[in-house]
Structure 1
């Protein structure tokens, strides 16, 4: 079993989001995220939200989750953030259901979730690597999104370092909407691949900044 792309679901989620979010900030990015969530048809969607950030992405994910019948959970850091988040939803005149909210530090909360198939995190967060690494993904694989991810990419962000050794990055792409959507599709490694990764991790590579020479040491 694996995640399978559905053009019809992607189109339905996209159109509904365009109608709802056309007057909101970051609407173009939200429309793309909604279409991706609808198209991949995940059973479990997770978002990590931070205080002070627009909820446009949350509205888009809520729309997509409604179309595909998925469970959608949003993590907030504390009770103050929960209040800010729910009030932001109330300020919009759209009939959008507030997702299931879980309070706590995201990288700790992520460890409680099992079978995540679609995950969205803002690239401006400092704990980005920890959150993606802590999540427990579905055996069908998972689509991971780093929104506002162009700067992270320029700073050397690598999906291979963001997920645990259990996962293999099948493919990744950056879509130039908003401040960039850095997207990866990951899947659990086979036992043979895990052995290779474990063996490879015993070697340490260092680059001499003066000469440019690469030195490899046994760990």
Structure 2
């Protein structure tokens, strides 16, 4: 499906994220991710977060969700991480939804439009993506903190699978962003079943001539 992009919403989210992150380091990636999520008009934005992470990406995603009227969910591994994350977000006046648990389990049942995982944390993002369900337009996946020489790329996770990469790109923004647009594919909530064609036989009663139509 063709990617639908809203430059106006993306620009607004970018500006608001810049304002919210102006005193925080490493905000360039957050600003870009925020603009992407908003421009994609994501209705369910999901990210993974661990203790010790800077919350700039979360701030950007929360800003994007406000502009799209969507839902922003952050998955953390334990209650201590939840407390740390919640406190960091409250400092900037934000309170996104938090789910405690293993990401590959937490994403089950969520129909995701925009997903952000952290390569540096060595999350099992292969399993996370495998378990995730995507919307009717597919989803945009972002793997942050990916060094240019990293041995894993999002594209490699879809080789031979039922879901396919529409396009992907690596950007040297922040500590590296690996970004992919994935089609809804088989098993996604918006996937379309392949219709099998069939032949239809018709006979002209007057002439007796036979016609075959493929439907």
How far apart are the structure 1 equivalents of 2:67 and 2:160? Answer: 31
On the 8 A contact 2:153/2:178 being kept in 1, the answer is no
Q: Deviations over 1:184-209 (max 9, x none)?
A: 000133666xxxxxxxxxxxxxxxxx
**SS at 1:62 equivalent:** helix
Please state how far the C-alpha of 1:107 moved relative to its aligned partner. 1.1
1:181 partnered with 2:183: no
Stretches of structure 1 that go unaligned for 5 or more consecutive residues are 193-219
1:138 paired residue number: 135
On the 8 A contact 1:2/1:141 being kept in 2, the answer is no
How far apart are the structure 1 equivalents of 2:159 and 2:38? Answer: 23
How far apart are the structure 1 equivalents of 2:80 and 2:145? Answer: 24
- Paired residues in the alignment total 187
TM-score (norm 2): 0.80
**SS at 1:87 equivalent:** helix
**SS at 2:28 equivalent:** helix
Higher Cα Rg, which structure: 2
Please state how far the C-alpha of 1:22 moved relative to its aligned partner. 1.4
Q: Deviations over 1:157-200 (max 9, x none)?
A: 342415892311000001111111110000133666xxxxxxxx
Please state how far the C-alpha of 1:118 moved relative to its aligned partner. 0.3
1:122 paired residue number: 118
CA separation of 1:156/1:75 partners in 2, compared to 1, >3 Å: closer, same or farther? closer
Higher share in helix: 1
CA RMSD of aligned residues (A): 2.0
On the 8 A contact 1:116/1:142 being kept in 2, the answer is yes
Q: Deviations over 1:10-48 (max 9, x none)?
A: 000000111110110211111101111111111111011
CA separation of 1:141/1:25 partners in 2, compared to 1, >3 Å: closer, same or farther? same
How far apart are the structure 2 equivalents of 1:34 and 1:133? Answer: 24
Please state how far the C-alpha of 1:150 moved relative to its aligned partner. 2.5
1:172 partnered with 2:165: no
How far apart are the structure 2 equivalents of 1:104 and 1:183? Answer: 24
Q: Deviations over 1:55-89 (max 9, x none)?
A: 11101100111111011111111111111111122
TM-score (norm 1): 0.79
How far apart are the structure 2 equivalents of 1:80 and 1:15? Answer: 32
Stretches of structure 2 that go unaligned for 5 or more consecutive residues are 186-191, 195-215
Over 3 Å off, 4+ runs = 189-192
1:42 paired residue number: 42
Within 5 Å, give how 1:54-65 maps onto structure 2.
Answer: 54-65=54-65
**SS at 1:89 equivalent:** helix
1:75 paired residue number: 75
On the 8 A contact 1:34/1:60 being kept in 2, the answer is yes
1:28 paired residue number: 28
